[in-house]
A and B are shown apart, each in its own frame.
Chain A
């Protein structure tokens, strides 16, 4: 069976809700199914991959290092929406993983190519 294109759209801040963490859990499982996985970071989701996260003070485990381990699962397609990044005063230098920065129009094209889009 040929692999399907799975896209995970991360829209929420890393803490405050559980979406970022539970999205990451699905990403890891999907990778074990040998599917073509991409991750997208838009809106506050961009904050999920910002360097220097330390949630110790709020008593929540830091899951940010997992993003750096994704290439070990052959998950290497990471995309950030330029408009979301700029609106938050961030640049690629602020991010803890290598990403491809796309305009929202380019992002829309990429989404249109997917078989399965999961939004968290």
Chain B
């Protein structure tokens, strides 16, 4: 099955990004496809390479980058939401790309199931 995911909250404050990541890993392990992860609202903060959590904590941003590296999952950050919050190409972590909300709609159209992770 082809999944599209939406992440609507930033890392650490909310569990949404963790749950979305765990969902994606579990889906891939079962042989499903994760067609795209779209980051919206404060979810765009998942994409900044300036993130430096304490060493004994999970690195949410690098974890997403690694998912892209390993499974070629399309990680898309909403441009309007990102610019509002100071997320630009120059601070983007590896594997993420900035694009329009059309990519969110496109994901809803192309996936068999679209799953929202938010507050």
Chain A positions near chain B (C-beta within 8 angstroms): 1, 4, 6, 18-19, 22, 25-26, 29-30, 33, 35, 115-120
Contact = CB atoms under 8 A, between A and B. Distances in A.
B81 A22 contact: yes
Top 10 nearest A-B pairs by Cβ distance?
A: A116-B108, A29-B101, A116-B114, A33-B105, A30-B105, A119-B116, A22-B41, A26-B101, A4-B109, A29-B105
14 contacts: A18-B41, A22-B41, A22-B81, A25-B101, A26-B101, A29-B100, A29-B101, A29-B104, A35-B105, A35-B108, A115-B108, A116-B108, A118-B6, A118-B108
Interface of B: 6, 8, 40-41, 80-81, 100-102, 104-106, 108-109, 114, 116, 118
A1 B109 contact: yes
Nearest to A12: B119
A26 B107 CA distance: 13
Main secondary structure of the interface of A (DSSP, over half): mixed
A8 B70 CA distance: 32
Contacts of A4: 108-109
Contacts of A115: 108
Given A22-B40, A26-B104, A33 B8 contact: no
Contacts of B81: 22
Contacts of A22: 40-41, 81
Given A22-B81, A26-B101, A29-B101, 12 more contacts: A25-B80, A29-B100, A29-B104, A30-B105, A33-B102, A35-B109, A116-B109, A117-B114, A118-B114, A118-B116, A119-B116, A119-B118
A114 B109 CA distance: 12
